[in-house]
Amino acid sequence: MIISILGIRGILLNRRNIPIMSMPIESMLLAVNLNFLVFSVSLDDMMGQSFASLVSTVAAAESAIGLAIFVITFRVRGTIAVEFINSIQG
């Protein structure tokens, strides 16, 4: 619960740089994984552990895609500051 609150706080307070905004999202996914694992152990059920591995896989894919978007945005616009990115056009 505390990690989730810190993640929400990090998103709300750090709105200057896109990579810094994505790190609290990863910490919230970590909090979800910890909840799945703790309840899986306490209830003697393997479903929580399988969901935790699924969430880890999705988080890794999200990080890779996000990093690719950051690199492309930096190459095109020259900055990854949120204030200077008005619109994202295809």
Q: In the chain, how many domains are there?
A: 1
Domain containing 59 equals 1-77
pTM of the model: 0.71
**3-state DSSP of the chain:** CHHHHHHHHHHHHCCCEHHHHHHHHHHHHHHHHHHHHHHHHHHCCCHHHHHHHHHHHHHHHHHHHHHHHHHHHHHHHCCCEHHHCCCCCC
Averages of pLDDT over runs of 10 residues in the chain (90 residues) are 81 78 84 89 89 89 88 83 65
Is 52 part of a structural domain of the chain? yes
Which CATH number belongs to the domain containing residue 28 in this structure? 1.10.287.3510
Is 31 part of a structural domain of the chain? yes
Is 82 part of a structural domain of the chain? no
Is 15 part of a structural domain of the chain? yes
